[in-house]
């Protein structure tokens, strides 16, 4: 990538270095989507980093072909667009992300951030089910359905994303 795009990616996704697998437009969409959650999660750097890593890896990782499988596409004019994916993630990462975020408080009302970014999820599977719902255009949420799975088919070269989750210090 050019230096400007690399700098933009590094500012949000410091773990994505060297080769990337996203366009500037895809990265800009990622940034605009996750920026809606940042105010709720900024109170805990580990939670925020894990949340960002989840979506940075999905969008720009050069290894995404190992843990992302497109399950449905749609035709819009003369373009094919992704409508649904399987995103293979280890339970360890899912639990680490949820555990780092479940007690983060937001605002003067001392409300749990997970109530806003995860619809009150009680575990990582509920959080991922909520995050994976396809949102209507222009609304916060995923532009396509994401089915978070931990049962990657290694016989076809798939392996779950296993980023080591950050923990609160």
Span 94-111, average pLDDT: 91
Q: What residue spans define the domains of the chain? A: 3-156
Confidence at 109, pLDDT banded by 50, 70, 90: confident
Pairing of strands 111-112, 105-106: antiparallel
pLDDT value, residue 1 = 64
Cα-Cα-Cα-Cα torsion 164, 100, 52, 150, nearest 10 degrees, comes to 60
Tens of pLDDT along 2-61?
Answer: 888 888 999 999 989 888 999 999 999 899 889 989 999 999 999 999 999 999 999 999
* Separation between Cα atoms, residue 88 and residue 33, nearest integer Å: 21
Tens of pLDDT along 124-169?
Answer: 999 999 999 998 877 777 888 999 999 888 878 889 998 877 886 5
Strands (E), 34-113: 68-76, 79-88, 105-106, 111-112
For residue 51, how many C-alpha atoms fall within 13 Å in the half-sphere facing its CB?
Answer: 30
Give me 2's structure tokens.
């050019």
Whether the per-residue pLDDT at 98 is higher than 60: the answer is yes
Q: Strand pairing partners for 88?
A: 149
pLDDT value, residue 138 = 73
* Separation between Cα atoms, residue 46 and residue 126, nearest integer Å: 20
Tens of pLDDT along 57-76?
Answer: 999 999 999 999 999 999 88
pLDDT value, residue 163 = 81
């Amino acid at each position: 990538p050019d230096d400007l795009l690399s700098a933009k990616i590094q500012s949000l996704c410091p773990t994505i270095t060297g080769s990337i697998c996203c366009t500037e437009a895809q990265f800009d969409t990622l940034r605009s989507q996750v920026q809606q959650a940042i105010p709720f999660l900024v109170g805990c750097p580990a939670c925020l980093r894990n949340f960002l890593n989840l979506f940075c890896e999905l969008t720009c990782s050069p290894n995404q072909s190992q843990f992302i499988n497109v399950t449905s596409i749609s035709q819009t004019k003369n373009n094919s667009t992704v409508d649904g994916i399987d995103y293979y993630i280890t339970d360890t990462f899912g639990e680490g992300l949820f555990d780092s975020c479940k007690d983060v408080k937001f605002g003067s009302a001392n409300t749990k951030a997970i109530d806003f970014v995860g619809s009150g999820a009680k575990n990582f599977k509920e959080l991922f089910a909520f995050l994976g719902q396809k949102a209507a255009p222009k609304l916060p949420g995923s532009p396509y359905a994401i089915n978070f799975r931990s049962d990657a088919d290694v016989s076809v070269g798939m392996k779950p994303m296993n980023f080591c989750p950050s923990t609160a210090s």
